[in-house]
Copies of this chain bind each other. A is one copy, B any other.
Amino acid sequence: MLREGYPAVTSRRVAAEAGLNPALVHYYFRRMDDLFLALHRRRAEQGLQLHAEVLASDQPLWTLWEYHRDAQGTGLTMEFVALANHRKAIRAEIKDTVERFRAEEIKMLKKIFKRYGVSPAECPPMVAAMLLSSVARFLAIEETLDMFTGHAQTVAFVERFIRQLEGERRAAS
């Protein structure tokens, strides 16, 4: 899914990867959409786990930023968004998940900004959530094309802000 996009995820290939018969895929997941939904639900659970880790971290902004910077995770998310756009049956659930994650991150950033004394006037937590996700996703997309021009500078620019709030990154997550 990550390497060749969701259209490459076919019952035949899934079976081949598992060393099993294609018919078995349809035994466990009647339609291919059911398979995608199952995968999506598993990812959503893992994502909630990660969110909890962010909140528990003593440098939550750094942790959140690193979480978003993960190119694999972003790549998969993009595939699911593409899937949502092209498959009516699963669109609603994917949209719901994306919205739930956004809402959680906004709540997280509200708490974090309050702790650091950032006034919502100078940077609303909602806007911060959008900017963080935007930049991280953009970088991830370009990396899949082996494009890296300006990435280091952009990362430095973002991390300057994070550093102002919670200092140098201490422990790798």
- A81 interface contact, C-beta 8 A: yes
- A95 interface contact, C-beta 8 A: yes
- A137 interface contact, C-beta 8 A: yes
Number of copies: 2
A82 to B157, CA, bound (A): 27
Per DSSP, chain A at the interface is helix
Interface size class of A (residues with CB under 8 A): 35 or more
Residue of B whose beta carbon sits closest to that of A129: B150
- A165 interface contact, C-beta 8 A: no
B144 near A135: Cβ-Cβ < 8 Å: no
* Chain A 134-154 interface 0/1 with B at a Cβ cutoff of 8 Å (1 = within): 110111011011110111011
- A127 interface contact, C-beta 8 A: yes
A14 to B145, CA, bound (A): 27
- A84 interface contact, C-beta 8 A: yes
A95 near B138: Cβ-Cβ < 8 Å: no
Residue of B whose beta carbon sits closest to that of A142: B98
